Chain A
Amino acid sequence: MTTLDPHAAMQLSDAAVSIELETPDMTLNIGPQHPSTHGVLRLVAKVDGERVNSVEPVIGYMHRGYEKLAEVRTYPQITALVNRIDWVSGFANEVPFVGAIEKLLDIEVPERAQYIRLILTEMARIATHLVFTSSYPLELGASTPLMHVMREREHVLELLESVTGGRFHPNFNRVGGVKPAAGGGSTMKKQSQDLPAGFLAATEETMQNVLDVCDDADRLVTGNELFLARTVGVGVIPAAKALEYGVTGPNLRASGVKFDLRKVESLLPYDRFDFEIPVGLNGDCFDRYLVRLQEIRQSVAIIRQAIATIPAGPLRAKVPRILKVPPGEVYVRGENPKGEMGYYVISEGGRIPYRVKIRSASYSNISILPWILEGALIPDLVAILGSLDFVLGDVDR
């Protein structure tokens, strides 16, 4: 029987430890057809086991060329196109675009039209954030909130439809106001497209339901142990990094930067209403969720104040029938539910713009993905992607 020399044994165990398995990074394509990427975003991830070493987002699968298309379409036609950029909040996309043309034409929008725009924009914001509140827990494995929150979102969309005629693509804004009449002929011209009867009462009821469903979401999701475990401290974006990457909207505010275009510069009379900007503390996924939930409540407050004080008056300023915009260039931005939505419109005179540059919120928001996903775990990757709340149509345009 040979006994193992202790010294040799030591060397042997050292040798065993020092043998490292060659584990090259695996390249994993997440998407473009993957449910957690919200559409056709492709992430080329270099993964080491469960850990993501680097991520390269590949975008453009949904490029529809709206900027180029805008060069061969008249201004009223582009209004119908722009609400397809971020289709979850169609109404909020139109307002900055018509605002840009109104600035070029130097038109004052009537008060009532401004209030109608504001109410419907806030409804679009509520609908968008309700989509987030329902789908984000689903991505983390909870399916009950989806059903309950989506139900109220449908009611908000019904209200939008009763005014504009479209649930997703309202096409209700016109240069100088809102859609004035159903048609241009002599009989239909008299019918104005003002708010339909019973709209204000129905809004009041729906807003109460929205607040109730926010409380439901609070009970179901906000305090849920599993949800907290998946989101608290995950995907932290420090305020400085968020500003560097040009992140805007609720994602920026969750990082603690109190920047909201509704307060800074707005086309709509937000300064007349009393509301707060919810701000997060840590900038993690949980804060991004909380900020959006609070924003729903603030939007409800704005809508309630607006329907209480909506003035009477005309719906549209005097605008020539064939819209010719004088030469000039202008950049107008507005607070889309996803962040800053801006249009840089260059006109050389005539019915068609020379160039329209669209600054969409989601495009800038996902530019932080390579930085934020470096070193994250794969399950966290889903949580982080969901919390940024981007729409691929808004990314690719």
Chain B
Amino acid sequence: MARIISMARRIIAPIHRLLPFTGLRTGMWLTLKTLFKKPVTVNYPIEKETPVPRARGVIALDTDACTVCMLCARECPDWCIYIEGHKQEEPPAKEGGRVRTRATLDRFDIDYALCMYCGICVEVCPFDALFWSPDYEYSEFAISDMLHDKDRLTDWLATVPDPPGLERQ
């Protein structure tokens, strides 16, 4: 069937060209044909598209995994990550042992007004504390609200999807 149509097109098209207003007619014909098709666009706030699992929407933070090593903040191309931490002394594991110190995270802010979504921080994190989430609905009225603090970044963790399956090699 497709073959017959393509043949017909090849034969009819040159004749078609000789008639007046061909450009107008072909354009309006396509408009008419697609007028009754289902639209490809999405009526955004009512319907939503699901982004692909790898989409770089927002960065989620796992505070338990973070060791305040500052690698992400140092590698960030536009320095939009702010980290503060302190050393906390913990009692020795055994009686008479050495007093241990543990780095504790006080502040972890990402300024999404500055972030360029390159993903270098997620990539360099050696302890799997940062993840990409495809969630994108966090626009704000004030630019200062684009600074997501530790708690807000942890909330995004729930939206991190499983990585997609891979194409067989």
Which residue numbers of A lie inside 8 Å of B, CB to CB? 73-74, 76-77, 80-81, 84, 112, 142, 144, 148, 151, 154, 158, 161-166, 169, 171, 179, 181-188, 191-200, 216, 219-220, 223-227, 312-313
Contact = CB atoms under 8 A, between A and B. Distances in A.
A144 B30 CA distance: 8
Given A196-B167, A220-B30, A165 B130 contact: no
A199 B54 CA distance: 13
Given A144-B30, A179-B123, A185 B40 contact: no
A162 B132 contact: no
B166 A192 contact: yes
Given A77-B120, A185-B127, 6 more contacts: A76-B75, A77-B75, A144-B27, A158-B52, A169-B116, A223-B26
A16 B74 CA distance: 79
Given A166-B56, A192-B166, A220-B30, A227 B23 contact: yes
A170 to B, nearest CB: 10
Nearest to A197: B165
A199 B40 CA distance: 21
Contact of A161 (B52, B128, B163): B52
A185 B52 contact: no
Q: Please provide the 6 A-B residue pairs with the shortest distance between their CB atoms, ordered closest to farther.
A: A185-B128, A80-B118, A312-B169, A224-B23, A197-B165, A165-B54
A361 to B, nearest CB: 23
Given A144-B31, A183-B122, A183-B123, A225 B23 contact: yes
Interface string B147-169: 00000000000000001111111
27 contacts: A73-B77, A77-B77, A84-B116, A142-B27, A144-B30, A161-B52, A162-B54, A165-B52, A165-B54, A166-B117, A182-B132, A183-B131, A184-B124, A185-B127, A186-B128, A187-B128, A194-B167, A195-B166, A196-B52, A197-B165, A197-B167, A199-B167, A223-B17, A223-B22, A223-B26, A224-B23, A224-B27
Interface string B133-158: 00000000000000000000000000
Nearest to B163: A191
B117 A196 contact: no
A196 B166 contact: yes
B166 A171 contact: no
